[in-house]
Structure 1
Amino acid sequence: MEINTLTWVVTVGLIVALLAVDLVLAAVRPHKVGFGEATAWSVFYVLVAVAFGVWVVLAHGGEFGTEYFTGYLVEKSLSVDNLFVFVIIMTTFAVPEEHQHKVLTFGIVLALVMRVIFIALGATLLSLFSFMFLVFGLLLIFTAVQLFRHRDEDPDVENNAVVRTARRVLPLSTEYDGGKLVTHVDGRKVATPLVVVLVAIGGIDLLFALDSIPAVFGVTQEAFLVFAANAFALLGLRALFFLVKGLLDRLVYLSTGLAVILAFIGVKLILHWAHEDLSPSVPEIPTLLSLGVILGILVVVTVASLLKTRRDPGAKAHPGSLRATRAKEGEPEGR
């Protein structure tokens, strides 16, 4: 797949322009985002992503188009789990609704920056060392196992090492001051809790980048498609948050489904490594089959989750954790 400089510039320019619109809206008109507004923006971002995929098919063929749509689907499904954690962060730190828009936009920009860095690093490693396909595959399988083991847990945001460090290092106020990051208390300049929220979002973004980039490289090795799939999936994250945050609790099997998807892509990467480095007789998993499997898993997970919560209204979804969370005071250790 040959991508010239102009195509890169136009694609990056489009993404930056869409991000700029989000930033301007968050800064100029802080407000509670309603269902209608969230729906309109969600549909808009999905249509933009689909239109880009259609262009890929027309300009570079169906195979690359399939790789893009599969990568987009993987990143979109992982971003929903990201939303779970965003909800936990917003709730834990009691972020005012009119400023959640700003926090989410910051999180998306930071997530995109981190993914660009990891995409460049991942593409370089894969081009230099073919065994990195094996490393990425094993990493995804390990992540899948950990996510499945702790699928009924929530990440312990307040006890995150980065958040604890921020609390120790920064002088913090106890109250929000509108959307300000810094305020004055008794004549002393201090950071508001919004800074800790942004630190927590940044730490979570880093963890998700470590998982999502190997996952999408399991679908395509084209850096341009990896970047585009990540960028367009992330662009719709803010609107999706306000659209589905009331429904997230019902996706009780999402973490299980994501664990299966990550394990599947991990196996796909290992088979690709074995096919390239050990023997051409080792079968590979076609991208079109991957698309079907991933889409099927997401459909099954969604339907099963809705049926479960319909039978048991008290059932609640969890984003899952990659390690056991520390038991709260008065609660027993373990699940």
Structure 2
Amino acid sequence: MEEEEKIKLGISIGDLNGIGCEVVLKTFEDNRMLDFCTPVIFASNKTVSFQKKELGIEVNYHGIQEASKAIDGKINVVNVWKEVPTVTFGESNNEGGKYAIKSLRAAVNALKNDEIDALVTAPINKTNIQADDFKFPGHTDFLAQQLEGESLMFMVTDELKVGLLTDHVAVKDAPAAINAILIRNKVRTIEKSLRMDFKIRAPKIALLGINPHSGDNGVIGKEDEEILKPVIKEMSDAGHLVFGPYSADSFFGSDSYKNFDAVLAAYHDQGLIPFKTLSFGKGVNFTAGLSKVRTSPDHGTAYEIAGKGKADHSSFKEAVFMALQIFRNRKEYQELTENPLQKQRVRR
């Protein structure tokens, strides 16, 4: 039997002053990781050499000029820049943001050109990445512009999957941003992702209420009565397994989430606080709905421990494995979709 070609996994290095490079190098310090994929890090030889020396991480790597030259069985580093950036661990500055974006742009271009199969992004700082040619609140919005599809911030583990109706939007602006079209689009994106990326054939989705106690029948805000409930009924009547709105304060503590394949929260903290509480260190941020696979760890730059060798790489490692699994699942789904006879045989 012919051996399956290893997945080429692109990695953007994140903010050089944070823990990005540390969690990347710690993940691949274990040589067994090379049995699962061919890592392609977008940075520079000198940058990686500096970081590994400062952090005391023992890894060998192979420098290349373009991702298409990556060698299986090695940690590959694409030389995106030739200069030596100044690294000041623990500081948020323009230098950190500048090189984070250089790495990200190079990685995304390689992804678009099929030089890598999937992408895992190390953490960036949403403040210092802002520039004349980069005005995005984060990875998700940039990727949505670069890659086709309806992007969705999807926080996932094997047991819990939480999507967001609104993500990097101020709390005061979130209710006004929620409308019937947005809800329908996000539900359909989650459904498609659950089928294609996670092999769930008939996904059940719970929607959380916008207001406390889902508005208490209009007593505490009318958005749930006037926007959420009509769309849920409409989609349910059309055959979608969509339920709610559920009161967010008790939904996770009562384990109600275990009755569903995914949860759709109204705004960022409503979904991410319980997600990170239940699964911190094991959670993965997956950008669902795009033409390519991208994951990232569920933490930020962690400046307070940067350069000290204390960073836990568990979430980044989970992001690597999740990207590989989603890529395989999506490939299998596409093959079955393109070959109906094979699909029928599988169903039997």
- Give TM-score, length-normalised by structure 1: 0.26
Higher helix share: 1
- Give TM-score, length-normalised by structure 2: 0.25
